[in-house]
Amino acid sequence: MNLYQNFSTILDRHYVPGTRIILAFSGGVDSRVLLDLLARYSEENPIECKAVYVHHGLSDNADTWQQQCQAWALQAGIDFVAERVQVEAKGKSLEACAREARYNALGGHLNSGDLLLTGQHSDDQVETFLLALKRGSGPKGLSAMAEAMAFGSATIVRPLLTVSRSQIEAYALQQGLQWVEDESNQDVRFDRNFIRHQISPLLNQRWPHFAQAVNRSAQLCAEQEMLIEELLQEKLEKALTLDGGLDIDVLSAVSELSRARLIRMWLTQHNIRMPSRDHLSKIWAEVAQAKQDANPVLNLAGTQIRRFSNKLYAIAESEDLSGWEKTLEVDESIELPDSLGCLTVQSSESGSLSLQALVEGELRVTFNPEGLSARPTDRVHSRKLKKLFQEYGVPSWQRRRMPILMCGEKVVAIAGLFIDHQFTGQDCELIWDKSS
pLDDT tens-digit map of 215-226 = 999 999 999 999
Tell me how far CA of residue 424 lies from CA of 108, 305, 365, 407, 428, in angstroms. Answer: 46, 38, 18, 13, 9
- In tens, the pLDDT along 118-135 reads 999 999 999 999 999 998
Q: How many residues does the chain have?
A: 436
* Residue 435 confidence (pLDDT): 77
Partner residues linked to 355 by β-bridges: none
Buried b (16+ CB within 10 A) or exposed e, 73-107: beebebebbbbebebeeeeeeeeebbeebbbebbe
Tell me how far CA of residue 374 lies from CA of 94, 125, 345, 354, in angstroms. Answer: 52, 61, 19, 16
At 169, phi and psi to the nearest 5?
A: -65, -40
Please state, as a whole number, how many other Cβ atoms lie within 10 Å of the Cβ of residue 369: 20
Interval 358-372 mean pLDDT: 92
Sign of the torsion angle spanned by Cα atoms 225, 230, 235, 239: positive
- Known binding residues are 26-31
Interval 198-216 mean pLDDT: 93
Query: Between 350 and 169, where is the model more confident?
Result: 169
Ordered structural domains, the chain, with CATH: 3-207 (3.40.50.620), 240-316 (1.20.59.20), 325-433 (no CATH)
Q: What is the dihedral of CA 319, 321, 327, 330, to 10 degrees?
A: 80
In angstroms, how far is CA 288 from the centroid of its own chain? 24
Q: How confident is the model at residue 336 (pLDDT cuts 50, 70, 90)?
A: very high
* Residue 96 confidence (pLDDT): 75
| Percent of the chain whose pLDDT exceeds 90 | 68
- Known binding residues for ATP are 26-31
Buried b (16+ CB within 10 A) or exposed e, 300-326: beebbbbbbeebbbbbeeeeebeebee
* Residue 380 confidence (pLDDT): 87
- 161 touches 122 (CB < 8 A): yes
- 408 touches 360 (CB < 8 A): yes
- In tens, the pLDDT along 82-113 reads 998 877 766 567 777 778 888 888 999 999 99
Q: How confident is the model at residue 363 (pLDDT cuts 50, 70, 90)?
A: very high
Residue 436 above 70 pLDDT?
no
Partner residues linked to 324 by β-bridges: none
- Give the span between the Cα atoms of 301 and 275, in whole angstroms: 9
Non-local CB neighbours of 415 within 8 Å, separated by 6+ positions: 343, 402, 403, 404, 405, 430, 432
* Residue 89 confidence (pLDDT): 63
- In tens, the pLDDT along 275-323 reads 888 888 999 999 999 998 888 989 887 889 999 999 999 998 888 898 9
The rounded mean pLDDT for the chain is 91
Q: Which of 19, 86, 25, 15 is nearest to 56 (CA)?
A: 86
Crossing angle of the two packed helices 210-239 and 122-134, in degrees rounded to 10: 60
- Give the span between the Cα atoms of 40 and 8, in whole angstroms: 9
Sign of the torsion angle spanned by Cα atoms 166, 172, 176, 177: negative
Interval 393-417 mean pLDDT: 93
Pick from 53-57, 329-333, 391-395, 410-414: least confident:
53-57
Residue type at 307? R
- Give the span between the Cα atoms of 271 and 190, in whole angstroms: 27
- Give the span between the Cα atoms of 104 and 413, in whole angstroms: 39
| 8-state DSSP, 105 | H
Q: How confident is the model at residue 58 (pLDDT cuts 50, 70, 90)?
A: confident
**Helix, strand, or coil here: 13?**
helix
| 8-state DSSP, 274 | P
Tell me how far CA of residue 317 lies from CA of 55, 83, 261, 300, 397, in angstroms. Answer: 29, 27, 24, 9, 10
- In tens, the pLDDT along 248-264 reads 999 999 999 999 999 99
Radius of gyration for the chain, computed over Cα atoms and rounded to the nearest angstrom: 28
Interval 178-195 mean pLDDT: 87
- 23 touches 69 (CB < 8 A): no
